[in-house]
Structure 1
Amino acid sequence: MSNLRPALFLDRDGVLNVDRTFVARVEDIEWIEGAAECIETFKARGWYVIVVTNQSGIAMGHYTEADMQSVHNHMQSVLAERGAVLDAIYHCTYHPEASIARYRKDSFDRKPKPGMILQAMADFPIKRETSFLIGDKPTDIAAAHAAGIGGFLFKGGNLATFAEWALAAFEDGTR
């Protein structure tokens, strides 16, 4: 019997939390309605739930990797208190036009490229053909398709409701 499981990939800013251009402090987090419920529901189904997020604010000098890690730790803690445990958060700090030289590169991990998703698939026993991503930008969807998974564009509202719609659409063959 295979231990492969499907994964729900989520972008961070604009999907889990309100996109404020650069979310660099815990105080900047404003949750999207239904975010915790979405994660909890998919985890109860036996899915992996993994965040994949571009963090170019680091490359541009708006905040540090330590700031980002503090935000991620806080997000994971708040979600876990609500019964919504993330399996992993993958991030890309690189940008080809970064103002900080060490982050200036065209990274395979930066969406719309699929590096973060493919790395998660290498790290976890993920069943690619039953996995999909929810993102709020076309680059998120492009990364999903480049990784060989479905992608759905979230334009706001309740994430749990949207994820249920996306799952039904995905199972019907809409990507």
Structure 2
Amino acid sequence: MDSRPLIILDRDGVLNLDSDAYVKSVDEWIPIPGSAEAVARLCKAGYQVAVATNQSGLARGYFSQADLDAMHTKMTALVNAAGGEFAHIAWCPHGPDDSCDCRKPLPGLIHQIERVLGVSAAGGWMVGDSIRDLEAGVAAGCKPVLVRTGKGEASVAKLARYPQLATAEVYNDLASWVDQLLESVK
């Protein structure tokens, strides 16, 4: 069992630019500046980093599994080049009406990460740009962190309506949260 603290990241809007028209290809997968380096810094500091991402574009036919695999290969290569690695990448391929247990705000993706890595997410962090990301994290015992990138700015305005997310910390982007986290553990 790996005893390194666990950090779970949403993908679109946290690691890469988001799009209301969906990120459908490797060319449309554009990293947010500093995100790959932030993941690498977490890894070098002894954290285990995983990704939990809803990808309903698969169910909707907007892109194929091969397209998603190519996006994740690009994402992983950028993080590896910066000196980091993802412990696991979990994705939900279902649409909103598919009644699955993995689509956030349900915690199924986080439970998948726990099973694969043999760790508990409780006490770890869930970093996302949407309310549903944070809800999934809190349901699995994670500390919620909201970034303003992607859909984050709109989500900040909604936070007050969700008492279970009262402890959510808000940062401009993943890199600024990582700066604060690593400074706090010095």
Identity %: 33
Quote the Cα distance in structure 2 between the aligned partners of 1:61 and 1:8. Answer: 30
TM-score (norm 2): 0.79
**Aligned partner (choices 132, 152, 156) of residue 139 of structure 1:** 132
The answer as to 2:65 corresponding to 1:72 is no
Partner of 1:159: 174
> 2:108, 2:83 → 1: CA distance?
29
Instruction: Find the aligned partners of 1:131 and 1:167 in 2 and give their Cα distance.
Output: 14
Query: Does the CA contact (< 8 Å) of 2:6 and 2:50 recur in 1?
Result: yes
Q: For 2:70 and 2:105, how far apart are their aligned partners in 1? A: 25
| Aligned pairs (5 A) from 1:20-39 | 20-21=19-20, 22-39=22-39
Q: Deviations over 1:96-136 (max 9, x none)?
A: 43xxxxxxx21111000000101111221335343101000
2:100 to 107, 113, 117: 107
Q: Which residue of 1 aligns with 2:110?
A: 117
Report the secondary structure of 2:90's partner residue: strand
Measure the CA separation in 2 of the matches of 1:150 and 1:167.
16
Aligned partner of 2:51 in structure 1 is: 51
Look up the match of 1:101.
Answer: none
Q: Give distance in 2, aligned partners of 1:64 and 1:128.
A: 30
Q: TM-score, normalised by structure 1?
A: 0.84
Q: Is the 8 A contact 1:34 1:161 kept in 2?
A: no
1:133 and 1:42, CA in 2 relative to 1: closer, same or farther beyond 3 A? same
Asked if structure 2 preserves the Cα contact closer than 8 Å seen for 1:8 and 1:131, the reply is yes
1:168–1:114 distance in 2 versus 1, CA, 3 Å: farther
Letter in 2 for 1:148: G
Distance (whole Å) between structure 1 residues aligned to residue 173 and residue 92 of structure 2: 26
RMSD (CA atoms): 2.0
- Cα separation, 2, equivalents of 1:96 and 1:14: 19
Segments of 5+ residues of structure 1 without an aligned counterpart are 98-104
Q: CA deviation at 1:28?
A: 0.7
Mean alpha-carbon deviation: is it higher for 24-33 or for 43-52? 24-33
Residues 6, 126 of structure 1: 8 Å contact kept: no
**SS, match of residue 23 in structure 1:** coil
Q: 1:82 to 1:140 in 2, by over 3 A?
A: same
What is the CA–CA distance in structure 2 between the aligned matches of 1:3 and 1:108, rounded to whole Å?
A: 25
Say which structure, 1 or 2, has more relative contact order (CA 8 Å, 6+ apart): 1
